[in-house]
Amino acid sequence: MSPTSVPIRSEVGPALPEVPLGVGTHLIGDLHLDVANSEQVDSFCRRMRALAGIPRLVILGDLFEYWVGPAQLDSARVVIDGMRELVDGGTAIDVIPGNRDFLLEKHFERRSGARLRSNGMVGLLPSGTETDQRVLLIHGDELCTLDLPYQRMRRVLRSRPLRFFAASIPGPIARWLASRLRRASTKAIEYKPNAAMDQQEAACREYAAKASCRSLVCGHAHRYRDQRLSDGLRWFVVDAFGGERDTLRVSAAGELEVTSPGSSA
């Protein structure tokens, strides 16, 4: 194995949950909602109301700017209630935790009605061959395999002991820690070469192959991508929420297509 690579974790593969992506399903990511920002929250709730009636919504990570555990549930009530309203109307919601909200857990699931897909999921499109129907859905930070310090930190932060510890931290202390981590992350990024933080094609291929998928959809990069790699794998990256191409939708033909902000089924 190259010293500049990180091994693909065995949890990413056929064992991932397989979920049908019916016609009208929407995929978005990187909302980075600050629950104290009423303008952001209002924009999110308007989008949720506009999506009423679609079969499924998949959030590809970083729904929140940060998540510190159950202590944050009350402050995020408006966002969570907006999701619950959509779920109660018949729309399934899947949330793939991102690098900002990897501490989302069962309390969030119960309140919002959403299903957490901790390591991603395999979406099944309604058309195409059995292989072409399979789409790997992940957050996307796991594809930044040249950023070795980040990947090491990612494994530590998502470890079971740390998650158990975080669940017991009082809200004010957890929020303080979250703000310190964000500042440290921002400062570290200033000193990293851009190439080290890029999502890597080789990692994209490896993850997709382990899940037996011919397409991969993620976020994290905040830059739209629709690329056909040399081996035929199709790689989508959605814009951050509010961007020009921030939504993928399953078309009437059963294929993924990009839509503009605010588009509904």
Judge whether 83 lies within some domain. yes
Paired with 121 in beta bridges are 137
Closest CA to 200 of 151, 132, 153, 257: 151
In a domain, 9, yes or no: no
* 2 within some domain: no
What CA–CA distance (Å, rounded) separates 102 from 123? Answer: 21
The answer to whether residues 219 and 29 touch, using CB atoms and an 8 Å cutoff, is: yes
Residue 7: the pLDDT is 40
CA 153 from centroid of its chain's CA atoms: 18
Distance from C-alpha of 232 to C-alpha of 22, rounded to nearest angstrom: 24
Residue 141: give its domain's CATH number. Answer: 3.60.21.10
pTM: 0.85
Helix (H) or strand (E) holding 265: none
**Count of domains observed in the chain:** 1
pLDDT at position 167: 66
pLDDT for position 131: 72
CA distance 78 to 159: 29
Q: Does a structural domain hold residue 78?
A: yes
- Identify the domain containing residue 197 by its residue range: 18-259
The whole-number pLDDT of residue 187 equals 57
Question: Domain for residue 5, yes or no?
Answer: no
CA distance 137 to 208: 9
Residue 8 in domain: no
Per-residue model confidence as pLDDT tens for the chain (265 residues): 333 333 444 344 448 999 999 999 999 999 999 998 999 999 999 999 999 999 999 999 999 998 888 888 988 999 999 999 999 999 999 999 999 899 899 999 999 999 999 999 999 999 877 778 999 999 999 999 998 887 887 787 777 776 666 666 676 766 676 666 666 655 555 555 556 679 999 999 999 999 999 999 999 999 999 999 999 999 999 999 999 999 999 999 999 999 865 454 4
